[in-house]
Structure 1
Amino acid sequence: MRSSFSCIYLYADESGDTGLTASPTKYFILSSLVVHETRWRDFLNDIVTFRRHLRATKGLKLREEIHAAPFITNPGALVRIRRNDRLDILKQCLDFLSNRSDIRICTVVVNKTTKQAGYDVFENAWQALIQRFDNTLRNRNYPGAFADQRGLVLPDNTDGGKLTTLLRKMRHYNPVPNNVAHQTVGAGYRNLALQSVIEDPFMKDSAHSFIHQLVDVVAYAARQLYEPNAYMRSKQGHNFYARLRPVLNAYANRAHPLHLVQL
C-alpha cells in the first residue's frame, strides 16, 4: 500500500530585475510564502476578511491589486488613497502575515553588483529557493509537522519555461557545496536531487491572486532592506521586513538574523 502524503504550496514573487548591465536595480529579490493544503482554505478566507477590512477603512476595493512598488511611487487610479494610507496598507499586510501560525516565509537576495558577466541571476535565485523548499519539506520542518510532505511551486508570472526546465533538471542533478555540517570530507559538491517538490511550476497572475499580492509586499519589503527609496527610508520602511520575524523560515539560513538567503 502506498503511503499518503500532504501537499504544501509555495507562492513566489520577485522584486527588481535579473539584468547585470544597465539595470536600475542592484539587487534581485525572490520571496516565497508556504501554506499547507489543509490550511489553504482558512488562509484564503482570512485574507478575504482582511481585504474587506481594507476596503472599509482605506477604500481599497477587493478587485484592485496590491502591487507594492507602484502602490507607493506610481499608484495610478489608487492615487485617490492618501500615500500615508497606502503605506499603512503595506504595513497591515505584513502584520497580517506575521500573526499567523500556519505559514512560513523565505527570501533569496542576489547582490548583482558582485556578480561576473554570465552569472544567471534568475537561475541561481530560483535554485537557492527551491533547494530550501525541498530541504525543509524532506525534514518535515514546516508548521504542523505533517508526515511525508510534498511541495508544489506556484510563481507569479515569470519566465515559466526557464523555471520549468530548472526544476526538472534539479530532480536529477542538484549540486550543493560540501560543508562540515554534512560531515563530508574535502571540497567539491554533493548531488542532492530534489525529493519532495512535485510537478512543474503552475504560473499565477497576481492580479487574480490575493496570496501573490501579499508575497509581492514581502518581496518589496525585503528590497527596501537593501536599496530603499527616499520615501520608504523617511518612513522607516527599510525596517518593515523585520515585522515578519515570527513567520520567517529559520531553516533557510540560521546565520542571518532575518534568515535571508544572500547570494
Structure 2
Amino acid sequence: MYFCYVDDSGADQTRTLTGLLVPEEGWSDLLHHWLEGRRKLDETWGVPKNTELHAVHLVKGRGRPCATEEQNDSFGRQARIAAHDLMIRHVTKCESVRVLTVAGATAQIAKVYHSFVNHLEAWAAEQDTRVMIMFDGQSGPDDVEETGQEKAQEAWKQAIRGAKPYRDAHRGLPLASRRVLEDPIMQDSRYSQFIQAADLVGYAAFHHLALERPQVWPKLQPMGPMSKAYKRLSQHWLPGHGTDGVVWLDDETWH
C-alpha cells in the first residue's frame, strides 16, 4: 500500500495538484531523509526543524522562517532557492518515492482532484496496490479546550463540509475494484512534514509547467531553478501518466 501526500499550486484560472507517493515500507526511509534535510536547513540557515515550510513564503521571501532576525536578514533570494533545492534533493534520496502532478485550466481545485484520483486509481490497478490520500486542508480545531466546545464543533462541521467534493471523488469509484481506499484524510500542513514536502515539490512542478506552457500564465515569470528542482525528481515521476512530469487536462480529458 502507498500513502499519497497531496497539495495544490497554480494561479489564476489554472490549478495543479501534486502528490508524493511512498509505499508503507518506505515511509520511515522518506522521513529519515526529509528530517536529515531539515537538520541541514537548521545548521546552514537557522530554519528550525519544526518551522512550517511553505514554498511561496520560503522561495519568494514572504516569510521569516529563521530563528533570529539576523539570520532572516541574511537569508536572501539565492539562499532561499538553495534551501528549497536542498529539500528536493533529500526527497530524491528515497528511492521508493513516486510523484504525480495533474494540472488543468480551471480555478476549481476539486475538479482537478477528481482527475488526480482517477490517475491514481489506474496506476494502483496497474501496480496491484492500494493508496490512501492525505490532503492539505482543514482538519478541525487545534485545541478543543481552548477553543470551546461549541466553536470546536462548528469548526469540525466546516472541515467536514469543506472536504465533501474530495470525498465524492473517492466515493464515486467502483466499490468492487477501487484501489484508492477510504475518504481523503485532511491534514493541516503545519503538523505534517510530508504535506510540506508535497507543497515544495508542487511549487516546483507549477513553475516547471509554466516554463513549458507560457501561454497559460502570460503574466507569470517562471523560475528556472524551480523547474530544475522538479526535474531532479524525473526518475520518480509516475510512469505512463503525463508528459515531462505533468498530466495536463484539456476539455476532452475531464472526467
How far, CA to CA, are the matches of 1:25 and 1:240 in structure 2? 23
Closer/same/farther in 2, CA of residues 95 and 46 from structure 1, 3 Å limit:
closer
The one-letter amino acid paired with 1:211 is F
Q: Which residue number in structure 2 is paired with residue 259 of structure 1?
A: 245
1:160 and 2:163 aligned = yes
Partner of 2:236: 247
1:171 corresponds to: 174
Deviations 1:144-184, CA, capped at 9 Å, x for gaps: xxxx5221111111642220122112336xxxxxxxxxxxx
Distance in 2, Cα, partners of 1:98 & 1:52: 16
1:31-60: per-residue Cα shift (whole Å, max 9, x none)? Answer: 001111111122212211221111111211
Q: In structure 1, give the amino acid aligned to 2:77.
A: R
| Structure 2 residue aligned with 1:198 | 181
Q: CA RMSD in A?
A: 2.2
Write out the 4+ residue segments of structure 1 that deviate beyond 3 Å after TM superposition.
227-230, 235-240
2:35, 2:225 → 1: CA distance?
28
TM-score normalised by the chain length of structure 1: 0.73
Greater displacement, 212-221 / 90-99: 90-99
Is 1:213 aligned to residue 196 of structure 2? yes
Match of 1:151 in 2: 131
Deviation at 1:76, TM superposition (A): 2.9
Cα distance change, pair 246–99 in 1 and its aligned pair in 2 (3 A): farther
CA distance in 2, matches of 1:154, 1:101: 20
Aligned-partner SS, 2:245: coil
**Partner letter of residue 198 of structure 1?**
L
Match of 1:89 in 2: 83
Kindly state the Cα deviation for residue 27 of structure 1 after the two structures are TM-superposed. Answer: 2.1
Which residue is equivalent to 1:237? 226
Q: What SS class does the counterpart of residue 203 from structure 1 fall into?
A: strand
Q: TM-score, normalised by structure 2?
A: 0.75
What residue number does 2:142 align with? none
Q: Counterpart of 2:5 in structure 1: which amino acid? A: Y
In structure 2, which of residues 79, 102, 109 is the aligned counterpart of residue 122 of structure 1? 109
SS at match of 1:105: strand
- Which secondary structure does the structure 2 equivalent of 1:43 belong to? helix
> Where does the alignment leave 5 or more consecutive residues of structure 1 unmatched?
1-6, 17-23, 113-119, 141-147, 173-192
- Aligned to 2:199, the other structure's residue is in SS state helix
Q: How does 1:48-59 map to 2 (within 5 A)?
A: 48-59=35-46
| Alignment partner, residue 61 of structure 1 | 48
**1:215-252: CA deviation from partner (whole Å, max 9, x where unpaired):** 1011111111315954x63x543443222111111121
Contact 2:17 2:103 in 1 (8 A): yes
After TM superposition, give the deviation of residue 89 of structure 1 in Å. 1.0
- Indicate the SS of the match to 1:152: strand
AA at the equivalent of 1:262: W
* SS of the residue 1:200 aligns to: coil
CA distance in 2, matches of 1:76, 1:259: 29
**Number of positions where the alignment pairs a residue of Structure 1 with one of Structure 2:** 211
1:139 counterpart = 2:121: no
Q: Residue 171 of structure 1: SS of its match in structure 2?
A: coil
Identity of aligned residues (%): 23
Query: Which residue does 2:158 correspond to in 1?
Result: none
The 10-residue stretch of structure 1 (205-214 or 79-88) with the greater mean CA deviation from structure 2: 79-88
Unaligned runs of 5+ in 2: 66-71, 139-161, 211-216, 250-255
Q: Which residue of 1 aligns with 2:34?
A: 47
